[in-house]
């Protein structure tokens, strides 16, 4: 057996260079690694992980197997940054998550990851790992892996630039800390394709950094079959056949057997993974459906539990149904005889069209309180017309200065918020203020405006007659109309994007009856819709004056 321990690593950990010993692995693992005679300072967390790594290197054969299973998944050469290093890196989530894709050799991890990145209904990107193994014939550095020398990798690890790392034959593998941080800042969810060995320290690192993650183990056979007495052997034969087909007769059977011994250790312990997704031959579509559902469920759950550096009043309201008194000490709108107009409705209902006609009407004086956002404007959007487009830094300064009545982070990791100053300026210039809100925003402003003694009306724009929203058939009829309208408006959206909007519309349609006023904006009746909207505003103003 060749010596797997390099002098650089041993010196760094403050340990002597150890030569391999031929002894039973389980016996060696129970022994302490003896330091040099001269006293050494206490090891820090990173050095402790290094010491554990050296212990496992002594005990293992080159391919990390002992008999038919792994020595110990937790004692393989792997590690993560110490908590202080991770926390000082300022890595954080913006409503996005890390998706860990793991599994045995030839289980289909890379194929699954590629499909996820190309999936139009997801906003996801792949983290490119670092490795010291030789570059493959068809591989490109920076695309398949970031290929480094062993010395470069060790230096990178020593500079605390790896969120997690491990060593397998034939080299080191690591997940970059800075690279992962930048990917999260882009607003996308991040895929990390790793072997089961590095999945454990990666999960530990993400937990320390408070980054939500989901772990998916890709199995070549069904979960039920895997748990049968001979299930693991069936899976191994399946994996062998995949590798043989891929190598087309050039398979090194000795190395294949060793790889399968390692895979057997992982397949024997499926309970250590959060989720197992079946990926048998010819069933990739079913596997992808399962994985997408798991990701969407995780995202939904995280969005309900997300905590920011400064509490958002809107999130507090959603959680508790109330806002503390401190909030109302900081905000004090004066309507000056005007009213706020909360308007809501699903994409395709026609809110924008209705409001454009209302603004043209000379019988009322009304303006729209634009939301601010940190996202980039789309090609057809204008600053000061659709949104106030600001940088993330500018938006965060608004939060710190308590300039916003409401703010939140969208699924695209961008900030959105409503400025108290802008609403007040509309009131001061004798305008009623239109607040275009989603369902949660509408709930929030009903409560806040009432507490601030600002008179308001809340109006829902429906694509179908009001009475049809009372049952499932009516909801389906509304979805059909919205699908047609969105498809005809020439926004350039794909069919999948349109269908995603239609599905999101259900939340709006189910909440329609929580609004005081519902106006149906059916095709060909825009003028009637606008007249009804204006009448609601005038009637409310009349109540205040009377």
Cα separation values, 383 from 352, 373, 435, 525, Å = 16, 10, 17, 31
Instruction: Give yes or no for a contact between 433 and 367, defined as CB atoms under 8 angstroms apart.
Output: yes
- Nearest Cα neighbor of 374 from 359, 357, 394, 402 is 394
pLDDT of 74? 40
Rounded to whole angstroms, the Cα distance separating 101 from 129 reads 13
Helix, strand, coil in percent for the chain, rounding step 5: 45, 15, 35
List of the chain residues with pLDDT < 70:
1-88, 168-170, 248-249, 303-322, 410-413, 490-492, 546
Q: Which CATH number fits domain 313-545: 3.40.50.300, 3.90.226.10, 3.40.50.12780, 3.90.320.10?
A: 3.40.50.300
Q: Enter the DSSP assignment of 131.
A: E
pLDDT of 307? 40
Q: Residue 187, Cβ neighbours under 10 Å: how many?
A: 19
pLDDT of 68? 33
pTM of the model: 0.48
Rounded to whole angstroms, the Cα distance separating 165 from 53 reads 11
Note the CATH number of domain 83-305: 3.40.50.300
Cα separation values, 238 from 267, 289, 451, Å = 12, 22, 65
- Nearest Cα neighbor of 72 from 192, 200, 175 is 200
Taken in order 174, 178, 183, 185, the sign of the CA dihedral is positive
Q: What phi and psi values does residue 181 have, to the nearest 5 degrees?
A: -60, -45
pLDDT of 518? 92
Q: Which pLDDT tens digit goes with each residue over 95-142?
A: 789 999 999 999 999 999 999 999 988 889 999 999 998 998 888 999
Q: Return the structure tokens found at 507.
A: 């939340």
pLDDT of 1? 31
Domain with CATH 3.40.50.300 in the chain: 83-305, 313-545
- Nearest Cα neighbor of 95 from 282, 307, 264, 251 is 307
Cα separation values, 411 from 57, 172, 319, Å = 43, 34, 18
Instruction: Give yes or no for a contact between 90 and 404, defined as CB atoms under 8 angstroms apart.
Output: no
């Amino acid at each position: 057996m060749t010596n797997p321990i390099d002098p650089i690593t041993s010196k760094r950990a403050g340990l002597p260079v150890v030569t391999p010993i031929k002894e039973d692995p389980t016996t060696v693992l129970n022994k302490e690694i003896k330091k040099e005679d001269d006293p050494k300072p206490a090891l820090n967390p990173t050095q402790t992980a290094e010491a554990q790594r050296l212990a496992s290197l002594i005990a293992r054969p080159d391919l990390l197997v002992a008999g038919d299973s792994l020595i110990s998944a937790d004692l393989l050469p792997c590690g993560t940054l110490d908590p202080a290093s991770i926390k000082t890196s300022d890595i954080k989530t913006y409503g996005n998550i890390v998706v860990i894709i793991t599994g045995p050799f030839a289980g289909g991890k890379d194929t699954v990851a590629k499909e996820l990145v190309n999936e139009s209904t997801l906003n996801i990107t792949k983290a490119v790992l670092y490795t010291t193994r030789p570059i493959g014939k068809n591989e490109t550095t920076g695309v398949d892996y970031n290929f480094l020398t062993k010395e470069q990798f060790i230096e990178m690890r020593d500079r605390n630039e790896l969120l997690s790392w491990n060593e397998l034959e034939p080299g080191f593998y690591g997940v970059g800390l800075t690279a992962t941080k930048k990917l999260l800042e882009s607003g996308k969810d991040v895929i990390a394709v790793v072997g089961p060995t590095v999945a454990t320290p990666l999960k530990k690192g993400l937990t320390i950094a408070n980054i939500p993650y989901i772990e998916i183990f890709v199995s070549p056979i069904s979960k039920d079959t895997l748990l049968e007495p001979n299930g693991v052997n069936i899976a191994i034969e399946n994996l062998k056949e995949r590798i043989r087909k891929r190598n087309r007769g050039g398979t090194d059977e000795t190395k294949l057997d060793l790889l399968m011994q390692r895979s057997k250790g992982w397949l024997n312990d499926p309970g250590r993974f959060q989720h197992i997704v079946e990926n048998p031959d010819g069933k990739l579509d079913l596997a992808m459906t399962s994985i997408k559902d798991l990701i969407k469920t995780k995202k939904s759950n995280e969005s309900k539990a997300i905590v920011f550096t400064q509490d958002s009043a809107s999130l507090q309201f959603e959680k508790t149904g109330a806002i503390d008194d401190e909030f109302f000490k900081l905000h004090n709108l004066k309507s000056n005889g005007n009213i706020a107009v909360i308007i809501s409705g699903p994409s395709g209902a026609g809110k924008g069209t209705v409001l454009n006609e209302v603004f043209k009407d000379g019988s009322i004086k009304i303006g729209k309180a634009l939301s601010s956002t940190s996202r980039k404007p789309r090609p057809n959007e204008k600053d000061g017309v659709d949104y106030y487009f600001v940088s993330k830094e500018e938006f965060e300064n608004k939060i710190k200065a308590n300039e916003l009545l409401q703010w939140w982070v969208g699924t695209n990791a961008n900030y959105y918020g409503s400025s108290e100053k802008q609403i007040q300026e509309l009131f001061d210039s004798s305008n009623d203020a239109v607040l275009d809100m989603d369902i949660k925003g509408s709930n929030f402003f009903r409560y806040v405006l009432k507490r601030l003694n600002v008179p308001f009306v809340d109006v829902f724009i429906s694509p179908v007659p009001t009475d049809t929203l009372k049952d499932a058939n009516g909801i389906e009829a509304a979805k059909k109309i919205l699908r047609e309208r969105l498809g005809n408006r020439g926004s350039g959206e794909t069919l999948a994007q349109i269908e995603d909007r239609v599905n999101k519309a259900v939340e709006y349609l189910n909440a329609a009856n929580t609004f005081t006023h519902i106006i149906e904006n059916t095709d060909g009746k825009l003028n009637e819709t606008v007249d009804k909207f204006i009448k609601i505003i005038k009637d409310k103003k009349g109540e205040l004056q009377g």
